[in-house]
Amino acid sequence: MDFGLVLQTDPPASDVVDLMRRAERNGFRYGWTFDSAVLWQEPFVIYSRILEHTERLIVGPMVTNPGTRTWEVTASTFATLNDMYGNRTVCGIGRGDSAMRVAGRRPNTLARLGEAIDAIRDLAEGREAEVDGGRMRLPWVKDGRLPVWMAAYGPKALALAGRKADGFILQLADPFLTEWMVHAVRAAAADAGRDPDAITVCVAAPAYIGDDLAYAREQCRWFGGMVGNHVADLVSRYGEHSGAIPESLTAYIAQRQGYDYSHHGRTGNPDTAFVPDDIVDRFCLLGPAEAHVEKLRTLRGLGVDQFAVYAMHDAKERTIDAYGSEVIPALNG
C-alpha cells in the first residue's frame, strides 16, 4: 500500500516543503495539497520547491478542477514540472468545491469535468486535444506522463471516474462506503471496456494517533463537515431516500445548517457541530497505531492502493513520524 500526505498550503510555504520532506523520509510516496486559490497559497509554485527538495515524492492537488484555470494552463504547468523533475506529478481533479464556491461560481458539471480529464492528460503527455472547440498541442512536451485521478461520491461521478480516470480518490475511510464506491467505479470501467483493476484507488482521510479518542475526534470533526458539502449536493440531486446513495452516507447531514468556507478544513470549524462522533470514527483513522493498521488492512482488502493522510490538526509531525515508524512498516514490511 502506498501512503500520501495531504496539506493545505498555508503560509509560510517553507513549512509545507519541510513537512513533505519529512513525509518522504518516513516512507510516504505522495505529497498532496488542497487547491483553492483564494483560501490558500498557489500550490503549483510550492510543488516546484517540494520536488526540488525531495528525491522520489510524487506531488499533485487533491483536488484541482476544470474552472479556476484554463485546461492548457493546467496541462502546461504539470508538463513543466514533469520536464524539470522527471514525471513526478499526478493530477487529482473534481468538480470544484471550495475553489469555485469561494469565488462565487458553481462547481463544474460532470460533462465538463469529463472533457477536461481527457484534454489535460492529452496535452500534458504531448498529444493534441480539444479545448473550448479548438484543437491545440503543447509542441515542447517530450515523454510526458500525467495520471489523472478523479474525486467522486455520487453514482454519476463514480461512473465517470470508471470511464475516464486513471485513479479514483475517495475522501472518507469508511469500509462499507469504500466497498460500495470502489465496486461502482470498477463496474463502470468494465462496462466501458477498460481493465477495472488498472484504476488506482486512493482513500484520503484524517489520521490522528493517540489514546485520547475524544480529543482526536475534536481535532478531526471538521472532515465530516467537508464531506457534508458534497453529500448535501448529492441529496439535492438524488433525494435523501432515492436508493441511489447509501443512507449511511446521507443521514448524518440532517442537522446541517450551512457552511462558511473561511473555516474550511480547519480544526474547530464551528459549522461542523452537527457531525456525530460515529461519523468521525467511521470516516477517519483514530486511536493507537494498531487501530490504524487494522483499518488500513481492511481497506487494502477492499482494493485500496493508497491511503492519503489529511494532516490538518495539531499533531502533523507526530502523525507523520508515527506512520513512518509503526504504520507503514506494518502494512508494507
- Location of C-alpha cell 495539531: 314
3-class DSSP string for 24-50: HHCCCCEEEECCCCCCCCCHHHHHHHH
pLDDT at 96: 86
pLDDT above 80: residue 240: no
Pick the closest to residue 313 from 277, 266, 264 (CA basis): 266
Instruction: Give Cα separations from 219 to 209, 216, 223, 310, 315 (angstroms).
Output: 11, 5, 9, 11, 9
d(CA 247, CA 309): 26
Question: In this structure, what C-alpha cell is assigned to residue 306?
Answer: 493508497
Question: In this structure, what C-alpha cell is assigned to residue 82?
Answer: 514533469
pLDDT class for 241, splitting at 50, 70, 90?
low
Question: What is the tens place of the pLDDT at every residue in 130-164?
Answer: 999 999 999 999 999 999 999 999 999 999 999 99
Question: What is the tens place of the pLDDT at every residue in 33-60?
Answer: 999 989 999 999 999 999 999 999 999 9
Q: What mean pLDDT is predicted for residues 198-221?
A: 97
pLDDT above 90: residue 233: no
Question: What is the tens place of the pLDDT at every residue in 93-103?
Answer: 999 877 888 88
Determine phi and psi for 65, rounding to 5 degrees. -150, 170
- Tell me the sheet residues that pair with 167: 149, 200
Cβ-contact 230, 153 below 8 angstroms: yes
Pick the closest to residue 149 from 204, 187, 104, 97 (CA basis): 204
My answer on whether omega of the bond before 155 falls inside 30° of 0, hence cis, is no
pLDDT above 90: residue 203: yes
- Count the neighbouring beta carbons within 10 Å of the beta carbon of residue 262: 11
